[in-house]
Amino acid sequence: MGAKPIIHQFTEINKGKYRSVRHYELQDTFNGASKLSTQLNISKNRNCALSMPEYWVKKKEGNNWSKCLTGLFITNRKAIFKGDIDHKKHLVIFRFSNGLSDIMVYYFENFYTTNIDSLLTKVENSNTGN
C-alpha cells in the first residue's frame, strides 16, 4: 500500500441500543501498536458542520468520549470512508462490513494525500491485516 498502515479491527457492541450512534470495540491490531483507543463512537452527521461528513468519530478516553476525532467522508467505493486526524497529518480509511457491524480502520501515520484511489483499491481488496 505504499505507506504501510496500522490496521485496527473493530466490532460493534451494544447493537441497536442507540438510533444514530454505534459503539465499537477493538478486536485486533496489525502492523504496529494501536493509534486509536479500545472503543470508538461513530454517529451520523446531523448537518452541524460545513464540511458535511457522513459520520463523526470519537474515541474513548477513560470513561468519556473525546471530542470529534475526524469526520468520515464518502469515497467512490461502497462502505469505505476517508478522514484525517490532526489536521491532515494522518490519513484514515474506514471499511465497514457485515452491514455496519465490523470496521477495519487503516491508519496511515504521518501520511496524508488526497490522491487515494490506489489505496482505496487495496483496502477494498484486502481480506486481513496484511
pLDDT in tens, 21-56: 999 999 999 999 999 999 999 998 766 555 689 999
Contact residues for 48 (Cβ-Cβ < 8 A; gap 6+): none
Angle (CA) 62-63-64 rounded to 5° is 95
Query: Environment class of residue 126 by beta-carbon count within 10 Å: exposed (0-12), middle (13-18) or buried (19+)?
Result: middle
Pairing of strands 80-85, 64-65: unpaired
Q: Between 25 and 126, whose confidence is greater? A: 25
Answer whether residue 61 shows pLDDT above 80: yes
Q: In the chain, pLDDT over 70 holds for what percent of residues?
A: 91
Contact residues for 25 (Cβ-Cβ < 8 A; gap 6+): 10, 11, 13, 38, 39
Answer whether residue 1 shows pLDDT above 60: no
Pairing of strands 6-13, 70-74: unpaired
Q: Is 45:55 a contact under the CB 8 Å cutoff?
A: yes
Name the phi and psi angles at 94, rounded to 5. Answer: -105, 125
